[in-house]
Amino acid sequence: MSENKVVRIRARNMADDALFEFLHMEIVAHMYKEQVTREDIDKERVTCVSTLELMGFRVGQGLIERFTKDCPTFKDDLDVMKFLCKDFWSMIFKKQIDNLRTNHQGTYVLQDNKFALLTQFSSGKQYLEEAPKYLAFSCGLIRGALSNLGLESVVTAEVSLMPSCKFQVVIQKL
């Protein structure tokens, strides 16, 4: 029975990109709509972002578990980050991170010049203030993936010109 199931999952082609993108937009919209009825505006922003981030975190954890099930262990933190930028990113967004920088003290900056979840919005500064909502989930995704690879981190995102986006990862020393 369980073997049968594995075969079935392998054979399945895919869920289309568009489906994920629409679902993501709808999740963001839903979270914000739900919160509008509550009063305190600043507080509400924070809850939305952290809810989305937490959802992403869970998904990241699940994904990394499946992606790394037959790959050897990593040498060090940098090796993990490289894996994240190349393999993990291409598996979920069909492209690699364009630029990875680090200060060698636990801070990494991942730059994606054409981030999939922003390309539909604009190429420039229009709707810039809306961008953070659409990045919270992805920040969580990264944090969740790292967490299951043994690295606790804080991940934030920054956009100065769409659809380019920078994720800053700060590894927390235990």
Binding to another protein by CB under 8 A, coded x per residue (else -) over 125-154, reads ------------x-----------------
User: How many Å apart are CA 169 and CA 151, to the nearest integer?
Assistant: 11
Cα separation of 64 and 71, whole Å? Answer: 11
Site for another protein contains 67 (CB under 8 A):
yes
Instruction: Decide: residue 89, CB within 10 A, 0-12 exposed, 13-18 middle, 19+ buried.
Output: buried
Q: 101 has which bridge partners? A: 109
Using rule CB under 8 A, residue 12 touches another protein: yes
Residues 148 and 60: beta-carbon distance below 8 Å: yes
Point out which span in 13-21, 37-45, 107-115, 121-129 binds another protein (CB under 8 A). Answer: 13-21
Q: Where does the chain have alpha helices with state H? A: 2-11, 17-36, 41-67, 77-83, 89-93, 136-148
Rule CB under 8 A: choose which of 36, 38, 90, 127 binds another protein.
90
The reply to whether 63 sits near another protein by the rule CB under 8 A is yes
Q: Is 87 in the site for another protein (CB under 8 A)?
A: yes
* Residue (56 or 163) nearer to another protein, CB: 56
- In whole angstroms, the minimum distance from the beta carbon of 130 to another protein comes to 17
Q: Give min distance, CB of 89 to another protein, in A.
A: 10
**Is the CB of 71 or the CB of 174 nearer to another protein?**
71
Residue environment code for 96-130, b if the CB has 16+ CB neighbours within 10 A, otherwise e: ebeebeeeeeeebbbbbeebbbbeebeeeeeeeee
CB 115 within 8 A of CB 165: yes
Q: With binding defined as CB under 8 A, does residue 78 bind another protein?
A: no
Residues that bind another protein (CB under 8 A): 8-10, 12-20, 22-24, 26-27, 29-30, 34, 51, 55-56, 58-59, 62-63, 66-67, 71-72, 86-87, 90-92, 94, 137
